[in-house]
Amino acid sequence: MRFSTTVIALAAAVSANPLNTFRSERQSLVRRDDLAIPGDNPLKYCDADRGDDIITIEKVDLTPNPPEAGTTLVIEASGTVKETILEGAYVNLQVKYGYIRLINTSADLCKEIKNVDLDCPIEKGKISITKSVDLPKEIPPGKYTVEADVFSVDDEHITCLTATVVFGKKSFGSILGDL
């Protein structure tokens, strides 16, 4: 599993589930607009209580938004890291295709962030990421839902993001045009 895959899946969202399935305490129902991450993107926070999060996301822009199979997705993100993130940080990742769970795992955040040209420790302060990702033409049509709940080595909450993207079927005429 690659962190860039997680970023792509999160960035590819068009709507999201407002409840976090990894964190059971302090769940809250809020308006979906209150969970939106600023910028030209469809990303959402998992829940409304983000006061203790180590990262504040200021903006995420996706081009194109929503993402399309067979195109290059450009992700531009900025935010503030409130505390240095050390080796041992991890992400609980869940990916579903419709109602079918494809992935439910924990991954080493510091190992995976190398795919977006970052290394641990991630120092306190402002941070910006720009990443281009070629999306394959062969993405099976359907609804994909991703949730990434991120923690420090000391189990302090870094952030939690959720996203859903729907990839449609290509029309028969457009497939013939690709031949």
Q: What HEC string does 11-28 produce?
A: HCCCECCCCCCCCCCCCC
pLDDT of residue 34: 84
Specify whether the CB–CB gap between 91 and 103 falls below 8 A.
no
Q: Which pTM was predicted?
A: 0.74
Residue 133's closest CA among 80, 173, 74, 82?
Answer: 74
For the chain, the average pLDDT equals 81
Edge-to-edge strands, sheet with 142-151 = 44-45, 157-167, 142-151, 90-97, 100-108
Structure tokens at 135: 């999306």
Residues 105-145 have pLDDT tens digits of 999 999 999 988 899 999 999 999 999 999 999 999 999 99
What is the rounded distance in angstroms from the CA atom of residue 105 to the CA atom of residue 154?
19
Task: Kindly report, residue by residue over 24-36, the tens digit of the pLDDT.
Answer: 344 344 445 689 9
